[in-house]
Structure formats: structure tokens, C-alpha cells
Structure 1
Amino acid sequence: MAPGRRRRRTVGLVAGAAVLGVVAGVCTGYVIQAGRKPTPLPPLSQPVVRQAKGAPEPLSAAQDRQVKTEGDLRKLLLKAPGGARDNPLGEGRDGWMSLSEYAETFDKPDVAFRAQLRSQFRRAAVTAWRTGGTRLVEVRLVQYRQEESMAASQQADNGEYWAEREPGNHGWAIPGTDDGMAYADSTPDRKSGYLPVYSAEAYAWRGDITVEIFAYDTSPIPKKDIMDLAERQVGRL
């Protein structure tokens, strides 16, 4: 089950949508295949491929992505820009978020906690900063064990699912990702006695890690700002 929307939504619909999408795709495939002419089978005799001699050379540390992701995950986080200050609303401690702290970022923490346990949550690294007078940014890398499912991609899909249903959100594909998306809200949240707050967010995944980026400001956040954060963070993985 998906963990749902951050402090604003409930869980469940994205999981159902994903299942329905898979079923619809399978049924469509069967219908198309049934209408095609039979494909001749290849001959049973095939040329013999000689086995190469020697063992393949191991990947260097720069090429082996697992060397990066098995180390200190905080080192893969984006660095705060020059002149940035601490984000007073940043989550976590010393660059880490526990499972309980991560679950608290969702609308229903108890449901999110159980969902993350089922998804084999491993650890989460976080960084946050403030620029200018009002721009707040938070970046998270959430890592999963992935012994039973592709939890990282499912987590990114969940974030995208709810972001696309937020009124006023506009979305763009993140270059260099399979299906990562960035969003910026043209409609601010308004509360009596407070300045309007605009938001932007981005979700992507690579291997066993989900990228989550959130930005808030009292003026609209340009597309180029959230896209730049997303592309640079994905590029570090």
C-alpha cells in the first residue's frame, strides 16, 4: 500500500490505480496478440557462441553506483547554495530522518509508518535551507531494501499521483530520469493573518533511492528553479 500525501492526503488510491493500470495493459496485450498472424519459430539448430576467456574487469568506484549508495547517504545530497541559512522548518536530525520522523510528514502518520515498514524502508537522509527572505527548500533521499518490490519507484509514483491532483499544479518531466516529475503551484495556500504560500515539489528515483524535493515561497516558484534542483540532485546519484 502507498503511504499517501504529505500531511494533506490519505492512502490507497494510487495503489489501486497502479493495479488497474497493470491489468488494463495485460488485457490490451492479449487482444493485440490474438489478432496477429502466428510468428514462425526459429530453427532449433543455432550457431555455437564461444565463451570469452578471462574474467570481466570489475567496475571502478566511479562506475559502480552501489559504492555510492552503500556509504554515507548524506554525502549524495545537494549542497546548500552560498549564503543560504538554516531552514527553521527542516525535518530530521544531523541530516537523518528516522522512520517515525519520515512517517510524520504524511497526512496519516500511523498508516504511513505501516506502509513504509511493508515497503522495507531502510533509511532517509535530508537537507534543508533558506535563501532570500522567504524561500524554504528541503531535499530528501529515501532508501529501501527492495528485497520484495521496487519500493523506490512506487514511492516516487505516489508523490507524483497526489501532486498531479493538487489544484493549480503544473508538471514537467525531469531529464535524465525514467519517469521523474517536477511540479510548481500557481495557486497559493491562503490563511487569514498569514502571507500566501506557493509550493513546488519534485519526485524521482534511481535504483533503491527515492528523491523528494520541496520548496516554499511567498511568491510563485519558477519552473527553472525546481527543475534545476531536481536535475542536479538526480545527477548526484
Structure 2
Amino acid sequence: MQATPEGGRKGRRTVALIAGAAVLGVVAGTCAGYLVQADREPTALPPLSQPSLAQAKGAGPEPLSAAQDRKVKVDGDLRKLLLKKPGGARKGLVEEGEDGWMDLGEYAETYKSPAGAFRNLAADNEFRRAAVTDWREGSTYSVEIRLVQFRQEEKGAEAADEASDGYYYAQPSDDYDTESWPIPGTGDGMAYVHPKPDTSYGVSLYSAEAHAWRGDIEMQVWIYDTKPIPKAKVLDLAKRQMEQL
């Protein structure tokens, strides 16, 4: 269900075309403004002497607190933005990363082609860091949540591109079984439930996932169980996690 490293490049051309169209739109609007102004009669300039303006009293608006300033929040300890494990939850069956962090190599290993993913994440996608949490409830229900942060210094859309890949691979065009819903409050964030279980491990393993992004951070939610996963489960987790960002 996870994207191949090549998939990480999908959407870049579309983003570039949209950005180009926006720039052309601004230029066209500016040119039209000059043409309109050229046809108008010149207006007299106001006198140079103007009444002095009273200086506003006070020290000005208070700076944002660390809690209100999103830049401060997302540049801090990314692990603190992950959802807390529910009471009574146990460690996941397969713990990712170390002490809540995944380095580039560990994150690349989550792709179907780790070597290609490593190259793309290091170069094109400007991978910065990834925080992860996972837990298990009962004997079979397990959750993993990743927050992946990008530098976005060159192209500026890596988190959005990665989320877009998540949407594409979560529900390919020839997959008519997977159900999907928008995640409230996220713009284009999507949640997916796969009703057909994976039986390649000797058991029927059902799965659900969610992908969204905000700023330079992409969110991934993965849920697995041996029985069908309700829509409400994945939507609730995804919505609450995005509210942390």
C-alpha cells in the first residue's frame, strides 16, 4: 500500500504547472493595470505638506506564544506532536525507529524499493526527519502514526507531494473495493478502509490508512486488525492527529 520511490515524484509537474499559471496570472493582471492607467487623464498630486499623524500609544501587539506560533511548535520536538498512546495500550508488534525517531534509512525501508526511496528522499524530497508512534490494543488491533517533515527549501511542496502519493497508492484506479472519505479540517486529506483482507501472512489481516499534510509535515496513519476496521476508527485518529499540527 505504500508508495514506490518513483511515486514520490508524481504531482511535481502538476504543482509546477499550477505555480506557473499563477505567476502568469499575476503578470497578466499587472499588464492590464498599466493599460487601464495609461488611458486615464492624469490627476493632480496632493500637496507635499501633510498634517502630522499622532503616534499610537502602547508597545504594540504582543508576540505570539510558543503554543500559538506554529513555526516554533513544528521546529521543536516533533515527537511531542504525535498522539499519545491510549490508556492500557501496549507496545506495537513491530516497533519502528528508535526512541520515537526514524532516520532516513529507516524511513526508506518502509517503501517497496528502499534503495530508490533513499535516493529520492535524500535529494528530491529534502527529507528532514520523521517521528513515529505505535501501539497495540487487545490482541490484534494495532496502530502506527508517522509525522514526516521536509526542508522544502528548493521546490516547497514535498509534504503535499508525499501525501498525494499516499492518496494514489491507497486507492489505485483499478481498486473498486477500497472505501475513502475526506478527513475533516484538512483540505485534501483522505482516509481509506480496505475491506478485502491480506491473507499472505496465513491470517486475514485487514487494514486502513490515512494521509494528509500541513505546511512541511506529512501525516500517515496505518491501522491493522484481524477483523474489519470501522470507518470511524481511522477518521477519528487522523482528525485528532491533524489537530495536533
TM-score bin, normalised by smaller chain: 0.7 to 0.9
Which of 141, 159, 177 is the aligned partner of 2:166?
159
Cα displacement string for residues 101-122 of structure 1 (whole angstroms, at most 9, x for unaligned residues):
0000000001111111121111
Task: Report if the CA contact (8 A) 2:160-2:218 is conserved.
Answer: yes
The alpha carbon displacement at 1:171 in A equals 1.0
Alignment of 1:75-224 (within 5 A): 75-118=80-123, 119-148=125-154, 149-165=156-172, 167=175, 168-191=177-200, 194-224=202-232
Task: Report if the CA contact (8 A) 1:14-1:161 is conserved.
Answer: no
Q: Distance in 2 between matches of 1:186 and 1:180?
A: 20
Q: Distance in 2 between matches of 1:207 and 1:68?
A: 12
Q: Distance in 2 between matches of 1:60 and 1:21?
A: 33
Gaps of 5+ in 1: 31-37
Counterpart AA for 1:89: V
- TM-score, with structure 1 as normaliser: 0.81
Q: Determine which structure has more spread, i.e. the larger CA radius of gyration.
A: 2
Alignment of 1:58-77 (within 5 A): 58-77=63-82
Q: Secondary structure at the match of 2:83?
A: coil
RMSD (CA atoms) = 3.1
Q: Distance in 2 between matches of 1:201 and 1:90?
A: 17
The alpha carbon displacement at 1:203 in A equals 0.7
The alpha carbon displacement at 1:65 in A equals 0.7
- TM-score, with structure 2 as normaliser: 0.79
Match of residue 235 from structure 1: 243
Gaps of 5+ in 2: 25-31, 47-52
Which of 34, 41, 55 is the aligned partner of 2:36?
41
Task: Report if the CA contact (8 A) 2:140-2:225 is conserved.
Answer: yes
Identity %: 49
The alpha carbon displacement at 1:56 in A equals 4.6
Task: Report if the CA contact (8 A) 2:167-2:190 is conserved.
Answer: yes
* Aligned length in residues: 222
Q: 1:25 to 1:96 in 2, by over 3 A?
A: closer
Task: Report if the CA contact (8 A) 2:143-2:223 is conserved.
Answer: yes
Match of residue 15 from structure 1: 9
Q: Distance in 2 between matches of 1:64 and 1:170?
A: 36
Q: Distance in 1 between matches of 2:62 and 2:188?
A: 32
Task: Report if the CA contact (8 A) 1:139-1:213 is conserved.
Answer: yes
Counterpart AA for 1:15: R
